């Protein structure tokens, strides 16, 4: 569809767009509402694809608190169809994606260079209405152009890849490293791809779901482990007597964090990105931490990695398509969340453009 005709259609139908809404936890449905009005500093995007994130699933389950009714979705891509009069860097017809983490730039942590800890952080699709909608209106500063070499489908991975890049930055991977990845969902498998790219010697992935372990082997894991049947730390030390140099935990439960801790060798680093519903606590030995010079660290969001993520997606060196297991129409959004809740998928895409 030509850009001019798309803009005309949006202008003529400002009272008619479909979007997914959660009236309450455990319920999601399709409704109609007006297309958002365009404000001076905003960009109106016709959404093409939106991925379901684990955060969306936790909101649907009622584990993460939001204000209902609520429209989720923050991993999306689309085409700009209108811009406010103060917008200068984005134009109508641009193919774009959105960084959902919108820092203020003025608070104590922003001024220190830690935007992921912004005291006034806004997160469209997490703290406000999001991308499971035909149109979204967002501030220019969080909109990023994507090249033609990145499909709308693959562009939904830019945000999760940017979060993993932050984890990789903090991990300081060395070519000799033995790396353990806990969790074989989207984030764990992206970790696997990037750890290989950045030079890890041996990668071991722990995941209870068989088909995810098989996919991890296909994507380059040296060894996979079923934590429901095997002791991960024992398998790691059978592989390398000195233990793991690096453990990346994408789950964040008490069991996974403690097992990851037990995998570490001397000078080992444990990084935790998984947000779990439980208040995870683990018994650890301070003497072990001191004598073995261990590092235990949390990583949060994607500070200063979004543009690099776009570059990685555009390089065509990663098999991103292998991460997509389902593509579902917006009208079937309930089925998409059911599949996600049952751990029957890696990355689920919702196709927003049913009417085109």
State the pLDDT confidence band at 67, using cuts at 50, 70 and 90.
confident
| Helix, strand, coil percent values for the chain (each to nearest 5) | 35, 25, 40
State the pLDDT confidence band at 282, using cuts at 50, 70 and 90.
confident
Instruction: State the DSSP string of 70-114.
Output: B----EEEEEEEEE-TT--S--TT-EEEE---B--S-SHHHHHT-
Positive or negative, the CA dihedral 231, 236, 238, 241 is negative
Question: The domain 3-149+316-351: what is its CATH number?
Answer: 3.90.180.10
Q: What does the pLDDT read at residue 25?
A: 92
Q: How far apart are CA 52 and CA 73, in angstroms?
A: 7
Q: What does the pLDDT read at residue 53?
A: 92
Q: What does the pLDDT read at residue 325?
A: 95
Check pLDDT > 70 for residue 258.
yes
Check pLDDT > 90 for residue 66.
no
Check pLDDT > 90 for residue 182.
yes
Check pLDDT > 90 for residue 64.
no
348, burial (CB in 10 Å: exposed 0-12, middle 13-18, buried 19+): buried
Q: How far apart are CA 130 and CA 73, in angstroms?
A: 5
- Judge whether 55 counts as a catalytic residue: yes
Among 50-64, 139-153, 225-239, 248-262, which stretch is predicted with the lowest mean pLDDT?
Answer: 50-64
Let me know if domain 161-298 sits in CATH 3.30.70.20.
no
Asked if residues 167 and 190 have their Cβ atoms less than 8 Å apart, the reply is no
Structural element, H or E, at residue 182: strand 178-182
State the pLDDT confidence band at 6, using cuts at 50, 70 and 90.
low
Considering only residues 240 and 266, tell me which one the structure prediction assigns the higher pLDDT.
266
Check pLDDT > 90 for residue 89.
yes
Check pLDDT > 90 for residue 204.
yes
Q: How far apart are CA 182 and CA 195, in angstroms?
A: 13
| Both tokens assigned to 86 | 């103060």
Structural element, H or E, at residue 266: strand 264-272
Mean pLDDT of 241-267: 96
Q: How far apart are CA 162 and CA 233, in angstroms?
A: 29
Average pLDDT, the chain: 91
State the pLDDT confidence band at 127, using cuts at 50, 70 and 90.
low
Asked if residues 245 and 180 have their Cβ atoms less than 8 Å apart, the reply is no
Considering only residues 206 and 284, tell me which one the structure prediction assigns the higher pLDDT.
206
State the pLDDT confidence band at 224, using cuts at 50, 70 and 90.
very high
- Judge whether 97 counts as a catalytic residue: no
Q: Where are the domains of the chain?
A: 3-149+316-351, 161-298
Q: What does the pLDDT read at residue 128?
A: 59
- Selecting among 15, 55, 156, 242, the annotated active-site residue is 55
Closest residue by Cα to residue 298 from 279, 273, 318: 273
Residue with tokens 């097992």: 259
Residue with tokens 């952080």: 121
Check pLDDT > 80 for residue 47.
yes
C-alpha distances out from residue 130 to 56, 65, 111, 265, Å: 10, 15, 27, 42
- Selecting among 15, 60, 186, 202, the annotated active-site residue is 60
Of all residues in the chain, the percent with pLDDT exceeding 90 is 79
Mean pLDDT of 45-63: 92
């Amino acid at each position: 569809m030509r850009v001019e005709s798309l803009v005309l259609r949006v202008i003529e139908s400002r009272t008619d767009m479909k979007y997914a809404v959660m009236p309450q936890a455990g319920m999601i449905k399709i409704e109609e509402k007006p297309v958002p009005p365009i404000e001076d500093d905003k960009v109106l995007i016709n959404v093409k694809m939106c991925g379901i994130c684990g955060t969306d699933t936790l909101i649907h389950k009622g584990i993460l608190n939001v204000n209902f009714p609520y429209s989720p979705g923050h991993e999306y891509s689309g085409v700009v169809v209108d811009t406010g009069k103060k917008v200068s860097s984005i134009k109508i017809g641009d193919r774009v994606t959105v960084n959902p983490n919108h820092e203020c730039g003025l608070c104590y942590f922003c001024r220190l260079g830690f935007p992921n800890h912004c005291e006034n952080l806004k997160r469209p699709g997490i703290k406000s209405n999001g991308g499971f909608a035909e149109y979204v209106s967002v501030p220019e500063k969080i909109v990023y152009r994507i090249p033609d070499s990145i499909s709308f489908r693959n562009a939904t991975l830019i945000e999760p890849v940017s979060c993993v890049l932050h984890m990789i930055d903090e991990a300081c991977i060395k070519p000799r490293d033995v790396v353990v990845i806990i969790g074989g969902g989207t984030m764990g498998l992206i970790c696997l791809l990037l750890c290989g790219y950045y030079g890890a010697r041996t990668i071991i992935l722990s995941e209870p779901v068989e088909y995810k372990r098989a996919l991890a082997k296909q994507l380059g894991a040296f060894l996979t482990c079923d934590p429901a049947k095997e002791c991960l730390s024992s398998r790691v030390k059978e592989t390398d007597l000195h233990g793991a140099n690096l453990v990346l935990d994408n789950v964040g439960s008490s069991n996974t964090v403690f097992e990851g801790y037990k995998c570490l060798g001397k000078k080992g680093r444990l990084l935790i990105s998984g947000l779990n519903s439980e208040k995870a606590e683990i018994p650890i030995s301070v003497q072990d931490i001191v004598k073995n010079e261990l590092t235990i660290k949390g990583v949060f969001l994607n500070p200063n990695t979004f543009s690099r993520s776009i570059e990685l997606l555009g390089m065509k060196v990663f098999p991103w398509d292998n991460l997509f297991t389902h593509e579902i129409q917006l009208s079937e959004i309930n089925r998409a969340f059911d599949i996600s809740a049952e751990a029957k998928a890696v990355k689920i895409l919702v196709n927003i453009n049913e009417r085109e």
